[in-house]
Structure formats: C-alpha cells, structure tokens
C-alpha cells in the first residue's frame, strides 16, 4: 500500500507532506527518484515522524494555565526539547517527575492533579522539604528538574512564573568516600566466582580501573573494545566526551573469558535477559544497582560504600600518586581541570608525595653529627 503524501510526478516519486510540518522542520518535501522500494521506505519513515509530531501538537493544543501539572509533564516528555537530551538524562528526568508526582502529596492533593496556575511557592517548598527528609541530594536533583519543567512552561505561555525557583534548598557536604583496594578485590572475588554475576564484576572492574561511571560501563559494546591493542573507547553519556583507555593485562584476561561466553551479542557485560532479537539486554539502572548491592553485601563491604564512589576512588588515587591533572582528565573526560578540584583530598600520603617530588632535603641545615 502506497504511503500517504507519496505522489508521482513525470515518472518520479515525490514526497509532499503538510506545509506546517515542513515549516516546523519535522519533514521535508523532496524528489525521491524512480526506485519504488526506496521511495516507499523514505515516505513510511517520514510519516512516522509526522504522526509523532501530530501527537505532540495534540498535547500542545490542549495545554493551558488551567491544565493540571500531569498534562504539563506529558507535554514536556513529548517535546523536541526533551527528546534532544541524552538517553540517561531523559531517564533521570522521567524518574524525577514520577517520584514527585507519586509522593508529592500536600493537603491531600497529588502534585500532578494541581493546576499549573494553582501551584504556589509554599506548596513547592512543602513538597521539597518532605522529600529532603528522605534524601537531600535526591531532593535537590529533583528540584532542578522541576525548575526546568516550569521554565519550559513559561516559554510556551502556559504560566508566567516558576514557583520552584523560590524554593530554598538545603546544602549537602561533598561526598568524600572512597573504596580501599582490598574492597574492590573482595567484590571482584565474589562477582567473578559465578559466571552469572561476572558481568556485574566487569562493570565494577572497568569503572574502577578506567575511572568511568558505572552507568556508562553497563552499555559498553564489543565494538568499542580493540582486543589486539588492549584499548577501550568510551563515549561518556553525561557530556559526550570520547576517551580512549588502556586496559590492564588482568582486565584483558577477564574480557577474553567473557568473550568466550558472550561475544555472540552486542554488550560486553549484558544481563541475562533476552532482547527478543537474538541478543541480550544491558542491565538497566535498577537491576544493576540491585545486583551490585547484593554482591557488596556478600563481600562484607562497609555499608557506607556505593558504586558511584568508584570513579572518585580512581581519580583520588591518581591525584595522590602525583599524576598530572591533564593526564587524569584524558582518562576521565573532564573538559576543565577545575572540575577535578572536588577530588583533591588533604592526606598525609599526598603531602609525602608532594615533598618527595619537590626533592626537599632531609636536612635543610647541617646534618647533625
């Protein structure tokens, strides 16, 4: 069946979608030549974009200051602004919306049921304070997302001010927790003892050795790894930085062992769930954290440690060993050297390394007889 908006003109296919969609930059009017299959495929793909655009416009047309916040969230999630974000960022934003909509109940009213025009700063402060009693850092992260949502609402004329901007947030001390090397070894000994948990071990191993985020290591593919050179290429999800990283002999051996069992599918450290396309799915954030936490408990690690501390641990180790900051940023992908400042700790080991590199004499004056 011929796709909509596909017509013939002088023996050639032309694609002529609605002019409003063209003006909005959704699709283009164009000549497609004489290849029937190629023309049909192009038109079908473009029509899918058109349908998504139409669904978005339905939300936009139905939005007003009298609409509830739940509809505003739906509108934003369908917007091009949201779709342009990195996948992990989209996932985090969606979780922030869901968390406060489900739990932000004030005066018997759910947040998503309140009118956009009826939300005031006092209500926002109450919701924030309620969430901060559970976790200040989580509440601060969610607050930032909700502020962005209402900035979007102002730009689109749904409201005139941002009630979340007036919320007074609490401050948290920068987290300084790091793993000891024996903690990492204890975890890997448990994770690598069973092939079913080897993927979790590899994610932790790579995150620690290569100073990367475990969230990125979940998604590393065999195509990113050059086994002959022992080099792993990582495109970081947070800033899009691309880093090439040398892999130690020990990690290379574990990757070689992993390849024997799992190189028939795309991911280096997959879950054991099928993707429905003769492959395996990567761990999602929830399943990874759940599995990693269980392995940490089996390894008898201190309760205050988290997986997110591994990148900080690796960077702190490099700083204390006197590795130049530009070299560290080549691994971590930090665009600015000042971004590494939070990782600096004032320790005796660091001070001793500084004095040794300074070549300071044991005796500045005469050596006592």
Q: Whats the size of the chain, residue-wise?
A: 369
Render pLDDT for 215-267 as a digit per residue (tens, 0 to 9): 999 999 999 999 999 999 999 887 788 999 999 999 999 999 999 999 999 99
- Confidence at residue 332, expressed as pLDDT on a 0 to 100 scale: 86
> 302: which 2 tokens?
């201190």
Per DSSP bridges, beta strands 12-15 and 280-282 are unpaired
284 Cβ contact list (under 8 Å, min separation 6): none
Work out the pLDDT band at 364, boundaries 50, 70, 90.
low
Picking from 343, 144, 332, the residue whose alpha carbon sits closest to that of residue 238 is: 332
CATH 1.10.443.10 fits 181-305, yes or no: yes
- Whether residue 196 is predicted with pLDDT greater than 90 in this model: the reply is yes
How does pLDDT run across 22-50, given as a tens digit for each residue?
877 788 898 888 899 999 999 999 999 88
Q: What percent of the chain has pLDDT over 90?
A: 50
Q: Is the pLDDT of residue 350 over 70?
A: no
Mean pLDDT is highest, among 16-25, 194-203, 323-332, for 194-203
**Confidence at residue 202, expressed as pLDDT on a 0 to 100 scale:** 97
C-beta separation of 43 from 6 below 8 A:
yes
Nearest to 298 by CA among 188, 208, 211: 188
Tell me the DSSP string of 11-56.
Answer: TEEEE---HHHHHTTS---EEEES-HHHHHHHHHHHHHHHHHHHHH
Centroid of chain to Cα 155: 26
**Same fold flag, 69-166 and 181-305:** no
Query: Which residue's entry shows tokens 């009826």?
Result: 118
Per-residue pLDDT band for 323 (boundaries 50, 70, 90) equals confident
Q: Which of 99-113, 138-152, 183-197 has the lowest mean pLDDT?
A: 99-113
Residue 169 has pLDDT above 80, yes or no: yes
Give the helix/strand (H/E) hosting 335: none
Region 69-166: CATH code: 1.10.150
Supply the pLDDT for residue 81. 87
Instruction: Give the integer Cα–Cα distance in Å for 333 and 297.
Output: 31
Q: Where exactly are the structural domains of the chain?
A: 6-62, 69-166, 181-305
Instruction: Please state the rounded mean pLDDT for residues 261-285.
Output: 93
Instruction: Classify 221 in phi/psi space as left (phi over 0), alpha (psi -120 to 50) or beta.
Output: beta
Q: Residue 55: pLDDT above 90?
A: no
């Amino acid at each position: 069946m011929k796709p909509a908006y596909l017509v013939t003109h002088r023996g050639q296919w032309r694609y002529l979608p609605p002019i409003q969609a063209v003006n909005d930059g959704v699709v283009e009017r164009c000549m497609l030549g004489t290849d029937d299959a190629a023309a049909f495929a192009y038109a079908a793909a473009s029509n899918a974009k058109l349908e998504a655009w139409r669904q978005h416009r339905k939300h936009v047309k139905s939005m007003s200051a009298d609409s509830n916040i739940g509809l505003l969230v739906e509108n934003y999630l369908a917007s091009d602004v949201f779709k342009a974000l990195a996948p992990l960022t989209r996932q985090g934003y969606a979780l922030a919306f869901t968390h406060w909509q489900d739990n932000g109940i004030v005066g018997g009213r759910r947040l998503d049921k309140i009118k956009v025009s009826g939300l005031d700063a006092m209500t926002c402060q109450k919701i924030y304070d309620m969430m901060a009693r559970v976790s200040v850092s989580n509440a601060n992260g969610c607050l930032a997302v909700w502020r962005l949502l209402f900035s979007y609402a102002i730009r689109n004329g749904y409201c005139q001010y941002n009630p979340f901007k007036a919320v007074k947030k609490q401050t948290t001390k920068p987290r300084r927790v790091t793993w000891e090397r024996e903690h990492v070894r204890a975890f890997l000994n448990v994770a690598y003892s069973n092939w079913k948990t080897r993927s979790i071990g590899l994610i932790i191993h790579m995150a620690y050795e290569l100073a990367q985020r475990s969230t990125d290591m979940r998604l590393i593919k065999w195509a990113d790894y050059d086994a002959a050179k022992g080099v792993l290429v990582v495109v970081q999800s947070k800033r899009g930085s691309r880093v090439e990283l040398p892999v130690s002999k020990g990690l290379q051996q574990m990757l070689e062992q992993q390849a024997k069992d799992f190189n028939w599918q795309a991911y280096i450290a997959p879950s054991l769930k099928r993707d429905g396309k003769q492959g395996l799915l990567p761990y999602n954030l929830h399943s990874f954290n759940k599995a990693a936490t269980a392995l940490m408990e089996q390894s008898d690690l201190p309760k205050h440690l988290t997986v997110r501390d591994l990148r900080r641990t690796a960077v702190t180790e490099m700083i204390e060993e006197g590795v130049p900051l530009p070299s560290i940023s080549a691994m971590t992908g930090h665009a600015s050297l000042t971004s590494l400042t939070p990782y600096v700790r004032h320790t005796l080991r660091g001070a001793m390394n500084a004095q040794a590199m300074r070549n300071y004499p044991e005796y500045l004056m005469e050596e006592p007889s």
